[in-house]
Structures are given as structure tokens and as C-alpha cells.
A and B are shown apart, each in its own frame.
Chain A
Amino acid sequence: MSTNTQLAAGALAGRQPTGAGRSRRPDRAQSRIGITFVSGYTLFLLVFGILPTFYAVYLAFTKANAFVGIDNFVKVFNDFRFLPALAHVGLYVAVWVVSLILLVVLLALIVHSVRARWLSSTVRFIYYIPGALAGASSVMLWLFVLDPTVSPVSFLLHALGNQTLVDTVQLDQLPVVLAIIAFWTGAGGWIVIIYGALNNISTDVMEAARIDGAGPLATAWYIQIPLLRKWIAYMAILSLAAGTQLFVEPRVLSQATRGVVPLDYSVNQLAFLFAFKQNDFNGSAAISLLLLVVALLLSVFFVFRGGLFERD
């Protein structure tokens, strides 16, 4: 389960803190204990959050410790694998985020409308279980599911014209395949969260809608979904940030298909190749920096525009 769903869950769980006492002059004892308590975390934040970012910036703009301006970026952009990798990731993210939003909202609404609580929580739990398999394990499992010779759904694959694993993961279909894998692993957590958000909608509003004669579809469209707008936006932004970092799925698929899924399919894979196959750490840092900036922009947008994180 990705940290994105975790943090949104946390946001859902939280409420505005009671702000009493903030205007008081902080006393030194509190100040001391506060700083002591955050010192460990702050150290880690510096070493594993801030410093790597600065080091990546340093590497991306230098070569052999000499400042070279945007040379590394130019080199990366002109590499024949860069634009295809961008296109691959872009397509994958588009397919994934759109399908995630549509299906998660749909499933959450359905699960929410189930009256029997035991049924609802069982179904939610079943949707959530695949989240336990993340990273390489889920790709391994999906290797089997995607290979028409061993798959439990081989009839489906054959119907779509796929006779071998190579067929299933051909580049045209690959973004969809990757999106399906990502959805399988990640949707459950989001469904639970959107479900919780649905629960937050006051029953009075729902009652009023019902009295007005709105059927379930109308209620969903006019009442529930608009109230979920913020959550849908967060889901989109967090999935977008995570999706651009695509690495393990194409890497394992590349190994399994013996290169049919190329080793340079995603942007992160390209960064890896730059670092370890071409010994070009500066180029690798340039690519990492690009990805980091994308994630950072989305994150800053989320924090400062999103209302849920209003504090103090």
C-alpha cells in the first residue's frame, strides 16, 4: 500500500487541532523539550530529505566537480530514450489516474450503499488485501496472471488476442497493463478512504435528497461526488506524483520478458541506467532532479492549495 493513501488516511483521520493556548508566550522548558524531541527527526530530515535534494542539484549542474550549467539536462533531453520514456510514463499515469478516480469513486459509492455492515466491511477488506503485496511481489504475481499459458484468466487474454506473455506486454498495451497492476495494489486503500469520507457526509443531507426523490444515481452525482471533490483531487495528485516514479514494475517485466519490455521504459529506469550502465552520475542526477521537481510541485500545490491542511 502506498504512502500516499496512508497520508490521506491520516488527513481524514485528523481534525483541526484545538488552537487554544497558541497565543501564549512559549516557556523555555517547553521550548527545550520541543527541540530535543524533534532533533532526531530533524537530523534525519536533513540527511535523507534535504541534503540528497541539494546533492542532486549539485550533481545535476556539474560534471567532474566543475560547473557546466544545463549541459547535463541538454544531454538527457537529447538522449534518444528520454522522450519515449516520458511518453510511456505520461501515458501510464494518464490511464492510471483516470481509471483510479472513476473506479474508486464508483466502488466506494457502491460499498457505501450496502446496508449490511458486515457485507460492506468484508467487501472493503477484500478490496484492501492486495495492498499487502506491493513492489516486486505484486509484479511477480501479475507475471503469472498476464501469461496466457498459466493465467487463471487465460480465456480473457486469448479473447483479446494474446497468445504469449510477449503479446500481453507489447508496448501498445503496456500502459494499460501497468495501470491494472497499480490499480490492483492501490485501489483498496483509496476505496477505504473515500468510503470514510462518504461517511462524513451528514445524514441530514442524504435524507433531504431522498425526500426530494433523488435516486441513488442522482444523489451520487449531485450530492456525494461534489462533496468528495477535495478527496478526488488529493487522490489524483498523490497518484500522479507516485506514478511518475514508475520503476519496479517495468524492471521486473523487462527481466521476465528478456528485454521485450525494454530496460529503459520508464524515466526512473533511465536514471538508473545512466548511473550504473553509463557511469554518468551527473546525467542520472539531472533525471532524478526532474522527477523530484515534478513531485515537489505537486506536493507544494497540495499543501498550500488544499484546504484540509489549514493549520494555525
Chain B
Amino acid sequence: MSSQHRRPSARSTRIIALTASLAVAGLLAGCSGGTGEVNSDYGFATAEQVEDSTITIWADASRQPAVEAFEAAHPEVKVDLVVDDGSANGSATFQTKIALADQAGDGWPDVVFSTQINDASWASKETNGVQAFAAPLNKGFIDDEFLSGFTAGALDPVTIDDTVYGLRNDLAPVLFWYNKALLDEFGYEVPATWEDYIALSDKLAAEHPGYFLGSVGDTFLGTYVYYWAGAAPIFTLDGDKFGSDLSDPNSQRVTEMLDHMVANGTLIQDSVFSAEFVAKADKFVGSPGPVWFSGALFQNPDSVNAQAGQWGGSDPLYWEGDDKVTGNVGGGMWYASSHSKNLDAVKTFLEFITTDKATAGTGGLPAYQAAADTWLADQSSSGFYDGDFESAVGAAASSVWDGWGYPNFSVETAYAKVIIPGLAAGKTIEDLAAEWQTEMENEAKVAGYTVG
């Protein structure tokens, strides 16, 4: 057909030229734009401030009551709360959404809550020419006096090169929770060491089958509550070097313990947030667990819903003859956005959310010392928990093992991928140990760390 060989008409040439120039212009526009001048009041390059603008907060549903309390206490601050999953289970929601906003050049929230405590590892870095999302807090934005009110060590995961990038929501050290009523009924002692715990499990399995001593069905239980508390170096970070050693003696001890207890039925595989767990809650004899089990499980009408005096907390378990260390299950961090247009409101919010006597800690142990003291005193005076709860929590909070790393990926994803389905299929953690270690090492490599 002759028409095919004709020159393209003038109109189509124009169209192509127009589109091409649009694209080039766009690419050029996208290439420009970097970080601006550092604002000396704050210590980072701030966006143009708009007084009284609404602040956007990304937080999960568990923090919603606290945010609402803030709105009630500070009606002058306009808040837009967007509820997400808080990056639970290592879903990296925070990171991927911020990456999207960075690409769009727009859409950053003003405050973000993350259940993971390792986000500062990426949020403090500039990416693709866009300023680091997390605003440095101790360079003038928040008073040093306020920052020093946090419990010692609470802000360590978010302090990089002496710059603090976030505020801790709660401390979640692992202590030992026990069902006093059941222990008394069966005539058992509260275990003090891991060895005691294992012996208890054997007795329980023999004399009262069906009763259990905890779960390994949640990604944060197996990893933080057992391996971290057992001082097992399965997730270590040394500068840029990641390490995971499941053949270390402590790692092996924990693995044996878990396999033993899964085998004798005293460790279940149901998530503590599942309906199955709630159905069995009356057979729950005790377990190591984070402080926030208090609000999430024991004082929660939809969960264990304990009666006063039925449950108690005691010092964390430790290996006989070894240092008394324990683990930590998250604790959550609040980050301020360096792109925020209303840093005053953000400051007011951050200070409230970490210190307000009624809601700080959102059901767990507040990270701000004064609020923590109040919370512990309240728990003690209410007599809800048996034993010296305050001292147990204090012991736990001050003995978190420092051999655990905070790289920019989560230990939970490998556990979910390898251990949970493996256990469900009837394998032991020992069987899966090599695969699990390889998976964590691979994830580290992908995240840019060196392994070995």
C-alpha cells in the first residue's frame, strides 16, 4: 500500500515532538531538587512552615486511643490520623510508603509510628537525592532536658552518630508472666531459670496435658522472647557486618528447649492474637513475654481477660550460672518528618504522646521515665498482678541483652518464612536451623550488609 511509504504527516510529527519534549522536560525537572539550607534552629533543612496546618499521623490501631487522647487534650492542633499496620511483622510498610512519597516528592506524613525499632537505620539516610525522612531531634528541635527524661538505653536504637532520630513509645522487655492461680492449684513453683522452665514443662506435660507454657506461633515470640532473652547471637550487627550463628552454644540451647517443649506439647503454635489461643486461655500456665502483654493479653477483655491477682510477673528467666539478661519485643518508635510543614504541632504531639500519664506506653511500659514510674505505681497499687510486679519490670528493663543488632531489615520475616510453616509441617527448629540462618544472611546481603 502506497500510504505506508508516505512521510508521516505534519500533525503526527508535531505530536511526537510535543510528547518527547514533555518527557525531557519532566526528566530534567525530576533530576533537580536536592536538600536545602540547614535551619540552625532545628539542625536540619526544614520545609516552609505553615502555621496551624493539619498534621498527618501514620500509626496503627493500637495507638489510636492515645492519638485521640491527644486530640482531646489539644483541640488547637488539627490531626489527621491514617491507620496502617505499623510495619508489624517486618512488613516494611513505613519504608515502602516513604519510598513512594520520596518519588512523588509529596505525600509525606508529619509523624509516623512504627512497631519496629530499627527504622532509623534507613530513615536517617538520604536516598536518591531526597532528604532523610526522619528529622534529627536533638539538634535543636526537642530540648535535651526532655530527651534525657527517657529511661536509659530507650533511645539507643534510634541514635546514630550521636543524633537521635525518634522517640521511644514503650519499653518491651521480656519478663516472666505466670498464672498464679494455676501454679498454686498444681503445686508448682514459679521458674527462675530456663532450666526450671524446661523442668516445669516436663512436669506439666506428664501431670496436666493440655496446659501450656507459651507459644511459638508469632514471629516476635520465637525470636525476641526466646532467642534474644536466651542471649543467642542469631541477629548481630557489627558496623556493616551482619552475623547469625545458630550453632552458638546459647542458640543451640534455645533451639533444644523450644523443640523439646513443642514436642511435649507445652508450647503451642497458635498466635497469641488468634481465636484459638483465646479459646485455650484458661490452660495458659505461664510464659516469658513482653511488658505489653499486660494491656494486650491480661487486661484485655477480648483476650485472656485475667481476674485481679490471677496472674503475676516475675524476674526474667536466665541460664543458670550466666548473666541475667533478657530480650526486648519492639517497643515502637515515633518519628518526626523532616519535610513537615508544622514542626511546632509535631513537637507538641511527640511530647504529649510519650509522657501523658494516662496513655503513654499504649498498654505497655512507657519509655519516658516519669510516665513509667506512674504506670508501675498504678499497677502495683491496683494489686492486679501478684508478686512484686514493679521490681520484676525494673529488673527486666535494666537487663536487656545488648548482643542483638538493629539492621534495616527485620528478623521476623525469615522466621515467618522458614520456621512457622516448618513447625506447622511437623519439623523441628533444629531441622530448620541451617535454612533459617541462610535466609537471614541472604536478607542481610540484599539489604546491603556483609556477611561472614
Binding site for B on A (CB under 8 A): 26, 31, 35-36, 39, 42-43, 46-47, 51, 79-81, 149, 164, 166-167, 170-171, 255, 257-260, 262-263, 272, 275-279, 281, 312
Please tell me if B7 contacts chain A, counting CB pairs below 8 Å. no
- The residue in chain B whose Cβ has the minimal distance to the Cβ of A46 is B19
Asked whether B445 lies within 8 Å of A263 as measured between CB atoms, the reply is no
Asked whether A260 lies within 8 Å of B96 as measured between CB atoms, the reply is no
Asked whether B446 lies within 8 Å of A278 as measured between CB atoms, the reply is yes
Asked whether A170 lies within 8 Å of B425 as measured between CB atoms, the reply is yes
Asked whether B412 lies within 8 Å of A259 as measured between CB atoms, the reply is yes
Asked whether B19 lies within 8 Å of A43 as measured between CB atoms, the reply is yes
Please tell me if B305 contacts chain A, counting CB pairs below 8 Å. no
Asked whether B15 lies within 8 Å of A43 as measured between CB atoms, the reply is yes
- Residues of chain A lying within 8 A (CB to CB) of residue B100: 276
Distance A279 CA – B420 CA, assembled complex (angstroms)? 29
* One of B3, B90, B275, B425 near A26 (C-beta < 8 A): B3
Least CB distance from B222 to A in Å reads 13
- The residue in chain A whose Cβ has the minimal distance to the Cβ of B90 is A259
Asked whether A35 lies within 8 Å of B95 as measured between CB atoms, the reply is no
A276-B15 in contact given A170-B425, A258-B416 (Cβ < 8 Å): no
Asked whether A39 lies within 8 Å of B11 as measured between CB atoms, the reply is yes
15 example contacts (A-B, Cβ-Cβ < 8 A) are as follows A31-B9, A43-B19, A51-B19, A80-B445, A149-B275, A164-B424, A167-B424, A259-B412, A262-B413, A263-B413, A276-B95, A276-B96, A276-B99, A278-B447, A278-B448
Main secondary structure of the interface of B (DSSP, over half): helix
Please tell me if B148 contacts chain A, counting CB pairs below 8 Å. no
Please tell me if B421 contacts chain A, counting CB pairs below 8 Å. yes
Please tell me if B280 contacts chain A, counting CB pairs below 8 Å. no
Asked whether B413 lies within 8 Å of A166 as measured between CB atoms, the reply is no
Please tell me if B417 contacts chain A, counting CB pairs below 8 Å. yes
Asked whether B424 lies within 8 Å of A166 as measured between CB atoms, the reply is yes
Asked whether A80 lies within 8 Å of B416 as measured between CB atoms, the reply is no
Asked whether B23 lies within 8 Å of A42 as measured between CB atoms, the reply is no
- Residues of chain B lying within 8 A (CB to CB) of residue A35: 9, 11-12
- Residues of chain A lying within 8 A (CB to CB) of residue B219: 258-259
Please tell me if B39 contacts chain A, counting CB pairs below 8 Å. no
The count of A-to-B residue pairs whose CB atoms sit within 8 angstroms is 82
A260-B421 in contact given A42-B12, A42-B15, A43-B15 (Cβ < 8 Å): yes
Asked whether B442 lies within 8 Å of A259 as measured between CB atoms, the reply is no
Distance A170 CA – B427 CA, assembled complex (angstroms)? 14
A258-B23 in contact given A42-B12, A80-B446, A166-B421 (Cβ < 8 Å): no
Least CB distance from A137 to B in Å reads 19
Mask: chain B, 227-260; 1 = CB below 8 Å from A; 0 = not: 0000000000000000000000000000000000
Least CB distance from B226 to A in Å reads 18
Please tell me if B348 contacts chain A, counting CB pairs below 8 Å. no
Asked whether B446 lies within 8 Å of A81 as measured between CB atoms, the reply is yes
* 17 extra A-B contacts, CB within 8 A, seeds A35-B12, A42-B15, A149-B275: A35-B11, A42-B12, A46-B19, A51-B19, A81-B446, A149-B276, A167-B424, A258-B271, A259-B89, A259-B90, A260-B416, A260-B420, A260-B421, A263-B91, A276-B96, A277-B99, A279-B99
- Residues of chain B lying within 8 A (CB to CB) of residue A276: 95-96, 99-100
- The residue in chain B whose Cβ has the minimal distance to the Cβ of A169 is B421
Distance A51 CA – B23 CA, assembled complex (angstroms)? 9
Least CB distance from A136 to B in Å reads 15
- Residues of chain A lying within 8 A (CB to CB) of residue B424: 164, 166-167, 170
Please tell me if B127 contacts chain A, counting CB pairs below 8 Å. yes
- Which 8 A-B pairs give the minimum distances between C-beta atoms? A259-B416, A276-B96, A276-B99, A80-B442, A258-B89, A262-B417, A259-B89, A279-B127
A166-B420 in contact given A43-B19, A277-B95 (Cβ < 8 Å): yes
- Residues of chain A lying within 8 A (CB to CB) of residue B85: 255
Distance A26 CA – B6 CA, assembled complex (angstroms)? 12
Asked whether B446 lies within 8 Å of A46 as measured between CB atoms, the reply is no
Least CB distance from A229 to B in Å reads 31
Distance A312 CA – B276 CA, assembled complex (angstroms)? 66
Asked whether A275 lies within 8 Å of B15 as measured between CB atoms, the reply is no
Contacting residues of chain B (305-338) with chain A, CB-CB under 8 angstroms? none
Least CB distance from A197 to B in Å reads 32
Asked whether A47 lies within 8 Å of B417 as measured between CB atoms, the reply is no
Please tell me if B53 contacts chain A, counting CB pairs below 8 Å. no
- Residues of chain A lying within 8 A (CB to CB) of residue B23: 51
Distance A79 CA – B85 CA, assembled complex (angstroms)? 28
Least CB distance from B205 to A in Å reads 21
Least CB distance from B15 to A in Å reads 6
Distance A171 CA – B88 CA, assembled complex (angstroms)? 22
Mask: chain B, 278-289; 1 = CB below 8 Å from A; 0 = not: 000000000000
- Residues of chain B lying within 8 A (CB to CB) of residue A164: 270, 276, 424
Asked whether B91 lies within 8 Å of A259 as measured between CB atoms, the reply is yes
* One of A42, A81, A277 near B92 (C-beta < 8 A): A277
Mask: chain B, 436-449; 1 = CB below 8 Å from A; 0 = not: 00000010011110
